[in-house]
Amino acid sequence: MVARIPFPEWDSLEVIARLADERRSYRDFYDRIKPDWLRTSAAYIASGGCPLTIIPLNLRDYTASTEEAEARKESLLNLYAPKETQFHYVLLASLRRDHGLIFCPCCGAHSVPGTLDHYLPKTSFPEFAVLLANLTPMCNACQEDKGANYLSEEGNRKFIHSYFDDINFNLYRIKFQGELGTPEFIFEFEEGIPAHLEILVKDHVGGVNIKKRFISYCGVKYTHLLKTANKLRRGGQENQLALVLESFLALAEENSVNCWEAVFYRSVLGAEELLNYLQNGELPENL
């Protein structure tokens, strides 16, 4: 959510067409569903995966009984767990591992995303189980917190889509409150979030539990900050602090303006009292 990432390099619709054509089991079912499968996949891409405009396919329309529809749903879901010999095995593995990301585009945590998330859950939308545009890299913590809900309590789209939503502006910051040796970290949304995205951003941040996880990260990062300030002061270079932090921020923003490291250093650089403390105040012992 916190960053828009490049679209998969393979054509999502070509993959669906090839999957439909190559099925040997349930040949009749795949012949019947293929046109609507391609149509709804194209609608997904055109709408950016918006669940408010996409109606899930009713598999009963392509089968002779409820039992058969349930069984064919399993067949669609199984496409997401291909054998190594199937052509899309390599595509899924590459999408999972070769993204080159060192942060999670969903939450901004500093980690290499190791899983793929179904933006629209495959249990509700089995026809999108293997639609590449519906599969976004994500960290394990996000996947555990996201769950199967894709609509908010108000019936709105709940999550930002990292292939479609342009979220490359500052979303939130931290305020440092209380004793600056061991401050409390206060999470705040930025004021400049465009009105049409504000509810979505807040639902997303709550939906994958970013606030709690980011505050925990700030605790660790703050110790690093104190150590950096201490080291500069020992070398008589405390007046270089802002310059050092600005270089940390610039490097972090190369990943995303909303990766946690960038949010942390931007928040520090925006806190004049804290900068003054780091240069001249009494730092904790044992750094």
The interface region with Zn ion, picked from 4-12, 20-28, 132-140, 147-155 by CB under 5 A, is 132-140
Q: Give the residue among 146, 155, 157, 151 at the shortest CA–CA distance from 196.
A: 157
What is the rounded distance in angstroms from the CA atom of residue 99 to the CA atom of residue 109? 15
Q: Give, in order, the Cα–Cα distances in Å from 266 to each of 73, 100, 105, 282.
A: 47, 24, 18, 23
Nearer Cβ to Zn ion, position 131 or 142?
A: 142
In the complex, minimum distance from the CB of residue 106 to Zn ion, in angstroms, rounded to a whole number: 4
How many angstroms separate the CA atoms of 127 and 108, rounded? 29
Identify residues 141-170 at the interface with Zn ion (CB under 5 A).
142
Structure tokens that stand for 194 in this block:
């465009």
Interface with Zn ion (CB under 5 A), residue total: 6
As given in the structure block, the two tokens for residue 40 are: 């709804």
**What residues does 117 pair with on adjacent strands?**
136
Query: In angstroms, what CA-CA distances link 259 with 25, 118, 191, 246, 256?
Result: 45, 21, 18, 15, 5
Q: What x/- string results for residues 57 through 96 when contact with Zn ion is judged by CB under 5 A?
A: ----------------------------------------
Tell me the longest C-alpha to C-alpha distance in the chain: 80
Which of 19, 54, 76, 104: binder of Zn ion (CB under 5 A)? Answer: 104
Report in angstroms how near the CB of residue 142 gets to Zn ion at its nearest: 3
What is the closest distance, in whole angstroms, from the C-beta atom of residue 104 to Zn ion in the complex?
Answer: 3
Q: Looking at beta carbons only, is 63 or 258 nearer to Zn ion? A: 258
Q: Which stretch binds Zn ion (CB under 5 A): 20-28, 133-141, 175-183, 221-229?
A: 133-141
Q: Which two tokens stand for residue 38?
A: 């391609």
Structure tokens belonging to residue 135: 């599969």
State the helix-helix crossing angle for 272-280 and 241-253, rounded to 10 degrees: 130
> Is residue 210 close enough to count as binding Zn ion by CB under 5 A?
no
Q: Is residue 13 at the binding interface for Zn ion, with CB under 5 A as the rule?
A: no
Site string for Zn ion, 108-127 (x = CB under 5 A): -x------------------
Phi-psi region of 155 (alpha: psi -120 to 50; beta: other; left: phi over 0): left
Spatial contact of 210 and 203, defined as CB atoms under 8 Å apart: no
Q: Which of 139, 160, 167, 171 binds Zn ion (CB under 5 A)?
A: 139
Cβ proximity to Zn ion, 135 vs 271, nearer residue: 135
Q: Binder to Zn ion among 3, 107, 120, 200 (CB under 5 A)? A: 107
Which residues, in sequence order, are bridge partners of residue 263? Answer: none
Q: Which is closer to Zn ion, CB of 23 or CB of 211? A: 211
Contact status: 106 vs Zn ion (CB under 5 A): yes
The residue (of 217 and 277) whose beta carbon lies closer to Zn ion is 217
Q: Which residues bind Zn ion (CB under 5 A)?
A: 104, 106-107, 109, 139, 142
